[in-house]
Amino acid sequence: MTISPANASAAALDRCHAVILAGGSGTRLWPLSRALFPKQLLALNGDLSLLQQTVRRVLSLFPPERVHIVTNEEHVFEVRAQARALNERLDTQVLAEPVGRNTLPAILLGLDAAMGYAEADGTAQPPLLAVFPSDHQLHDEARWGAAVTRGAGLAAEGWTVTFGVPPTTPETGYGYIRRGKLLPNADAAKGAAFAVDGFVEKPDLETARGFLRQGMHFWNSGMFVFNGGVLLSAVERFQPALAAWWTTRADTTLAPGIPLTHGYSTLPSISIDYGIMEHVDRIAVVEADFGWDDLGSWEALYRLGAKDERGCVVQGDTMAMDCDDCLLLSRGGKLVAIGLSNVIAVQTRDATLICAKDQVQRVKDVVEKLKTEKSPLVDVHLTVRRPWGNYTVLDEGPGRKVKRIEVNPGARLSLQMHHHRSEHWVVAKGAALVQVGNEERTLTENEWVDIPKATLHRLTNPGRIPLELIEIQSGPYLGEDDIVRFDDVYGRRKEG
């Protein structure tokens, strides 16, 4: 009996695992995107974050036990919360990198999880692996699903598969894929597939215009499908340091549920493109005509946003008077714009960006300058999410900082102490179970407690409503890394 290409692709999808990469920083969307709350965790174009949109899309093709989300240790609790809101079974499918090491090591973490699932399921064949960034926008999910299914079929035949987006403009911020011959037996209903002739990384404007005229190049979408065995052979051949690290997966002393993290910080930081794709043979590109955008800049958000009668995209608490073709976005305070044209204005509670639309690529330069100044604006917002709730910085100055702390019902902070600061807590709402030294006491609204520096303490919300309290810190150093944890239900590291 002859198996049709469509049936073969569908069968291949049944042995395929999805790996969602959720560890990026998204600096070009500063000041909304910060290192500790990057763009994939933000809701930029609706009620769901970009990560949640990606997860929902992936769940339309893959069961939750074959979905693996790889993120940074700093983001793991928020990623789990966002994934769990869509499907509770995803809570155990999030893998944490101890440090960021770019896409290739992250993909291998996902492959390790997929192989563990296949081994437990008694599957003899190596799993296929479909890799998706968590911060892209797609407009036609049906076509996306068809293209991924087509890619899985090619990967089952031993091809290394990428997805190419037909370019619509001479974009200089994307990598390009040069297509070769049309592959035979293509399932046209699921997207044409071509052999890859080569890759071009972010061309200049004239080169990009030439690509658009020639019609032989795609934008590189950053999505892939691999045969697990083929990928490992390529790693062994081209990345011996990663191959040696991979052998540690047989080490039974590794912590359960955290595969391959031993020695992760010693790995080279290398992308899948440079590490594998530019070296291997037999690469296929599936035409990805499903309305793709990586939302990599404020100009992209403007281009895709709903516009008013004067061509402005307006979000949040804003007022636009006589403005044309602008993006005006506020996530903190009233933003008023008068007589502006072709301007991006983004406001948060602690930073404001104003730039011409044709200068948005320079936002990443602003972030680099802020890094050299050691500015906290690179890393955090005034409100910072934690696995137990959140805190908001209300005021700070030399020797003092005031926070509003919100603790979720039933949640508790770590048992901790600080070397350089004292704290004063006042309960504003709910009830607090407070441990100071070896003593515990319950506080209710308007009651307070002092915590001297170098004193063990812990805060728990024993109630059924959120606990809110005001914390006043005083001392010569008030950095968030002045914390030593002695016990933590969330498994965070001892210091920092």
- The model's pLDDT over 259-281, given as tens digits with 9 standing for 90+, comes to 567 778 889 999 999 999 999 99
Token duo for residue 308? 């008013």
Give, as one character, the DSSP assignment of residue 413.
Answer: P
Average confidence (pLDDT) over 413-418: 96
Q: How far is CA 104 from CA 83, 99, 270, in A?
A: 23, 13, 6
Average confidence (pLDDT) over 135-139: 92
Q: pLDDT at position 251, please? A: 60
Q: What is the mean pLDDT of the chain?
A: 91
H-type helices in 187-282, by residue range? Answer: 205-214, 228-238, 240-246, 272
Q: pLDDT at position 151, please? A: 94
pTM given for the model: 0.89
Average confidence (pLDDT) over 396-407: 97
Fold type of domain 5-293? Spore Coat Polysaccharide Biosynthesis Protein SpsA; Chain A (3.90.550)
Residue type, 39: K
Q: How far is CA 488 from CA 83, 415, 485, in A?
A: 22, 6, 7
Q: Lay out the sheet containing 484-487: strands in order across.
A: 439-443, 432-436, 457-460, 415-417, 484-487
Q: pLDDT at position 428, please? A: 98
> Alpha-carbon distance 166 to 218, whole Å?
5
Average confidence (pLDDT) over 105-111: 94
Q: pLDDT at position 152, please? A: 95
Strands 217-227 and 193-200: unpaired
Domain range 383-487, CATH class: mainly beta
> Alpha-carbon distance 412 to 68, whole Å?
28
Strands 137-138 and 283-287: unpaired
> Alpha-carbon distance 359 to 172, whole Å?
13
Reference 50, options 345, 294, 378, 290; nearest CA is 294
- Over residues 441-473, the pLDDT tens digits come to 999 999 999 999 999 999 999 999 999 999 999
**For the chain, what are the domain ranges?**
5-293, 306-366, 383-487
Q: pLDDT at position 73, please? A: 87
Reference 16, options 203, 170, 231; nearest CA is 231
Strands 400-407 and 448-451: unpaired
Reference 416, options 345, 471, 361, 489; nearest CA is 489
Question: Please, are residues 13 and 149 in contact by the beta-carbon 8 Å criterion?
Answer: yes
